[in-house]
Amino acid sequence: MKIQFGGDFTVQRKPEDVYNFLVDPEKFCPLLPDYQSMQKIDNKTFNVSLRVGISHIRGTATVKMELIEQTPPNHAVYEGKGDVPGGTTTLRAGFDLTPDGTNGTKVTWKGEGQIAGRLPSIAGGLLEPLAKKNVQKLIDALQGALTAQNA
């Protein structure tokens, strides 16, 4: 099952500040819905663990993420692979930053996730809406954290 997502938002931060936040897993990982832990492997690679559950399949998903593209201060892409209860997942997520006004930045983000195994067959039509809801929670949290840094 493949799920695609994307959108944009604007914050009153310089692109360099936004970029530095988004390429630092120690800053953005705790904003992930149902975050449990993050272990940095090197400057571009980290493992993140999240609580997941749908129907009677519940547990911890551990995903190894790698920053595979970097063009500071305006573009980056992450790829990840990992295990989820009842299956496996692959992810790709990236962002592009453009100046907006004097000190603002428009963040355009997009990505896709693919889940294989028992989970998609058991969860049926519940999986995509839940995934999109969690992505929106993350985007709202990122926007909030980047706005809070203005104070």
pLDDT in tens, 62-100: 999 999 999 999 999 999 999 988 789 999 999 999 999
| Cβ atoms of 17 and 147 closer than 8 Å | no
pLDDT value for 151: 41
From the list 25, 21, 30, 20, the residue with the least C-alpha distance to 42 is 25
What's the whole-model pTM score?
A: 0.89
pLDDT value for 31: 96
Measured between alpha carbons, how far is 51 from 42 in angstroms, rounded to an integer?
24
Q: According to CATH, what is the number of the domain 2-148?
A: 3.30.530.20
pLDDT value for 4: 93
Residue pLDDT, tens place only, 4-55:
999 999 999 999 999 999 999 999 999 999 999 999 999 999 999 999 877 6
* Cα–Cα separations (whole angstroms), residue 117 to 55, 90, 92, 96: 15, 12, 18, 32
